[in-house]
Amino acid sequence: MKKRSGRGVFVFLCAAPAVILFTVFMIIPTINVFRMSLFRRSAYSTTEEFVGWENFSRLMQDTNFIRSMQNTILLIVVVTIVTFALALVFAAILTREKIKGQNFFRVIFYIPNILSVVVISAIFSAIYDTNNGTLNSLLSLLKGETVAILWKGESMVMVSLIIAMVWQAIGYYMVMYMASMSSIPMSLYESASLDGAGRITQFFQITIPLIWTNIRTTLTFFIISTINMAFLFVKAMTSGGPNGASEVALSYMYKQAYTNSTYGYGMAIGVVVFLFSFGLSALVNVVTKRKTLEF
Amino acid sequence: MEHKKGMSADRLYKAFIYVVLITLAITIIVPVAWVFMASIKENSEFYGNPWSLPAGFYFQNFIDAWNKARMGEYMLNSVLVTGLGLLILLVVALPAAYVLSRFNFRGRKFLNTAFMGGLFINVNYIVVPIFLMLVDGDRWLRNVFGEGFLLNNIFVLAVVYAATALPFTIYLLSGYFATLPHDYEEAAYIDGAGYGTTMVKVIFPMARPSIITVILFNFLSFWNEYIIAMTLLSDPKGGKTLPVGLMQLTQAQQAATQYGQLYAGLVLVMLPTLILYVCVQKKLTQGMTLGGLKG
C-alpha cells in the first residue's frame, strides 16, 4: 500500500516541471497569439482594447502583407521543388551507385545544416556583394568583363534568397531520403535490370514508389520549415529590403509585432500564416495520398 | 562491339556523376573555407580581388573581434545559455519522458497528446507573446519589488530554450523508453530500489545513446538560435549571444567596414559546431533519421 501512494507522488514530481514549463512558455503564448489578434495593444500602455475582426480586415487591404504572402508562396514552391529534386537525385546516386568517397560526400553535404543561419547569411552576403563579392568576380572572370550584378537588389533578391535556402536544405533532406532508400532490398533492382529496366526507369518505378511515405512526410516538413527558414534568412540577410522586396510572412509579422509594437496586428498576421501553413500541409497530404507499397 | 559501347556509356555516366557530386561538394566547401581564409586577412586586403590568398596570418582580427566587437563576452554568454539550457532541459525532460512512456496514470494520454501537439508550435510564432509576457512580468515585479529581472536575463533565455525544446526531446526520449522491457524495473524494485533510484541508476544509463542524440541536436539549435535571443535580450548595451552579436556586426559592417573582425567572429561561431560535427557526424545523421522530426 505504501508503494502505491509513493507512486503517485513520484509520477507527479517527474511530470510537473515539464508540464509547467510547457504550459507557461508554449501553451499560454500560443493561446495569446489567437487572443491578441482580436485586440489592439500598443507599446506604451498595458490596456488591451477589443476590436473584433478589425485587425484581419485591415490585413486583407494591406498591400505589404499581400506582397509578403506572395513571396512566401513563391519560396515554398520554388525552394521545395528544387531542394526536393536535388536531394532525391543525390540520395539516389549516393545509395545506388558504387562511389568512391561516398561517406565523404555525405558528410560534406550535411555541413550547411549545422551552421547558424546567421553564418550562412553572412557567407552569402560576402558572395553576393556587388563590388567585392566572390560571385560577381567569378562571373567577371568567365565573361572577361566587369560584372556588377546587384544580387541583393530589388529584382534579384528573391533569387538570391532561394539559392541560399536551397544550399542550406539539400543535405538535410538528402540524408533523410538516403535512410529510407538504403532499406530497399538490392534484389528488386537486380531483377529490374535483368528485365532491362535502366537507371531512370528504376528510379521512378522502384525507388520513388517505395519511399513514398517518407516523401509525403518531408513535403509537409518542406512547407512548415520553408515558412520558418524564410523568416530566419530574411531577418539575417536582407531585413526584408530593399523596399520590402524580400519581405516574407513571418518577417512582416515580427516587424509589425516587435519593431512597430502593433502587437494585435502582428498576431493577426501570425494567425493567418499559421492557418495557411496547416491548410496547405493538409491539402498536400490529401493530394499525395497513395496506396502504401511494401517490399 | 555493342558490349564496348555499353561500357563507354557507363563510363561517361560515372564520370558525369562524379562531376555533379564534386560540384556540389565544392559549392559547400569553398564558401566555408573562404570565411576561414578571410578571417586572417588584413582590412586593406578586402578591397582587391576577393579570391586572393591572405598576405599573412593576421591574427589581430580575432583579438579585435574578441575585445572591440565584444565577441569574447558574447561567446561566454552563448556558452552559458547553451550549457544551462541543456542542463535544464535534461533535468526536466528525462523524468517526464520516463513517466509518460512507462507509467499508467490518469491524464497520461492527454499529456502525451499535448506534448505531441507541441511539436507543431514553432517558436517563431510565439516569440512575441513570450516577450510580452516577460514585459508584463517585469512591470509587475517593478511595482512590487522595485526591480524587474525577466528581460535581458540569460538565465530566463536558457529556461525559454529548454521549454521550447521539450516537445521534441520528450518525443525522442519516450520513443526510446517505450522499447525497454518492464523486467528491468521489476528486478530493481525486488532489490528494494525506490522509483527514483530505479529511474536514475537503472533506466537513464541505458538511455545513454538517446540522451547523447538529444544533447547533440539541442546543442546545435541552442548555439545557433538567434530570434529568441534577439527578442529577449533587447537592451542594446546589455549582453547578447554570439549569433545576435554577429548579426549586428554584419549589419553595422555595411557602414563601418570591419571585414576582418566580422569573419573572425564568423569563425568563432562556426568552429565549435564544425568540430563537434566532425567528431560525431555519424551519430548525428543516424539520430536524425531516428528522430525523424526536426525544424
Least confident of A138-142, B176-180, B282-286: B282-286
Confidence band of A1 (pLDDT split at 50, 70, 90): very low
Structure confidence at residue B293 (pLDDT): 40
Answer for the pair B86, B214: CB distance below 8 angstroms, yes or no.
Answer: no
Q: CA nearest A280: which of A206, A225, A231, A242?
A: A225
pLDDT in tens, B22-65: 999 999 999 999 999 888 887 777 777 777 777 777 888 888 88
Q: CA nearest B290: which of B174, B126, B137?
A: B174
Least confident of A70-74, B165-169, B199-203, B223-227: B199-203
| pLDDT at position A170 over 80 | yes
* % of chain A residues with pLDDT over 90: 52
Confidence band of B70 (pLDDT split at 50, 70, 90): confident
Shortest alpha-carbon distance between residue B63 and chain A (Å):
19
* Residue A255 amino acid letter: K
| pLDDT at position A183 over 90 | no
Are B227 and A235 in contact (CB < 8 Å)?
Answer: yes
pLDDT in tens, B265-277: 899 999 999 998 8
Q: What does the mean pLDDT of chain B come to?
A: 86
Q: Which domain holds residue A154?
A: 50-287
Position A3 in a domain: no
- Choose from A4, A24, A25 for mutation: most chain B CBs within 10 A: A25
**DSSP conformation class of B44:** G
Q: Is the ipTM of this complex over 0.95?
A: no
| pLDDT at position A2 over 50 | no
Q: CA nearest B151: which of B78, B80, B159?
A: B159
Q: CA separation (Å) from B203 to B102, B176, B190? A: 11, 11, 15
Position A26 in a domain: no
pLDDT in tens, B114-153: 999 999 899 999 999 999 999 889 988 998 888 888 888 9
Answer for the pair A53, A268: CB distance below 8 angstroms, yes or no.
Answer: no
Structure confidence at residue B90 (pLDDT): 96
Residue B223 cell numbers, joined: 548555439
Position A58 in a domain: yes
| pLDDT at position B255 over 90 | no
Long-range CB contacts (< 8 A, 24+ apart) of A210-217?
Answer: A210/A180, A210/A184, A210/A293, A210/A295, A211/A177, A211/A180, A211/A181, A211/A184, A212/A288, A212/A290, A212/A292, A212/A293, A213/A180, A213/A292, A214/A176, A214/A177, A214/A180, A215/A177, A215/A288, A216/A284, A216/A285, A216/A288, A216/A289, A217/B292
Mean pLDDT computed over B72-95: 95
CA–CA separation, B40 and A124 (whole Å)? 19
Total count of domains within chain A? 1
Are A221 and B29 in contact (CB < 8 Å)?
Answer: no
Answer for the pair A80, A219: CB distance below 8 angstroms, yes or no.
Answer: yes
Among all residues of chain B, which has the CA nearest to that of A32?
B129
CA–CA separation, B126 and A30 (whole Å)? 6
Structure confidence at residue B295 (pLDDT): 35
pLDDT in tens, A274-285: 999 999 999 998
Q: What does the mean pLDDT of chain A come to?
A: 88
Shortest alpha-carbon distance between residue B64 and chain A (Å):
18
**DSSP conformation class of B45:** G
Position A109 in a domain: yes
| pLDDT at position B257 over 80 | no
CA–CA separation, B241 and B75 (whole Å)? 7
Q: CA separation (Å) from A23 to A32, B60, B139? A: 12, 47, 21
Shortest alpha-carbon distance between residue B281 and chain A (Å):
7
| pLDDT at position B280 over 90 | no
Are B128 and A167 in contact (CB < 8 Å)?
Answer: no
Position A18 in a domain: no
Confidence band of B191 (pLDDT split at 50, 70, 90): confident
Are A123 and B132 in contact (CB < 8 Å)?
Answer: no
Answer for the pair A224, B122: CB distance below 8 angstroms, yes or no.
Answer: yes
Query: Would you state the torsion angle of the CA atoms of residues A27, B162, B249, A262, taken in this order, to the nearest 10 degrees?
Result: 10
Position A11 in a domain: no
Position A1 in a domain: no
Does B32 contact A at CB distance below 8 Å? yes
Question: Residue A267's domain is classified under what CATH number?
Answer: 1.10.3720.10
pLDDT in tens, A104-118: 898 999 999 999 999
Position A144 in a domain: yes
Domains and CATH numbers, chain B: 69-291 (1.10.3720.10)
Instruction: State the helix-helix crossing angle for B259-291 and B60-67, rounded to 10 degrees.
Output: 80
Using the Cα atoms of residue A218, residue A223, residue A228 and residue A229 in order, give the sign of their dihedral: positive
Are B262 and A22 in contact (CB < 8 Å)?
Answer: no
Structure confidence at residue B256 (pLDDT): 60
Confidence band of B1 (pLDDT split at 50, 70, 90): very low
Among all residues of chain B, which has the CA nearest to that of A18?
B92
Structure confidence at residue B6 (pLDDT): 61
* Contacts with A124 from chain B: Cβ below 8 Å: 31
| pLDDT at position A230 over 90 | yes
Structure confidence at residue B149 (pLDDT): 85
Query: B10 versus A229: which is more confidently predicted?
Result: A229
Shortest alpha-carbon distance between residue B237 and chain A (Å):
18
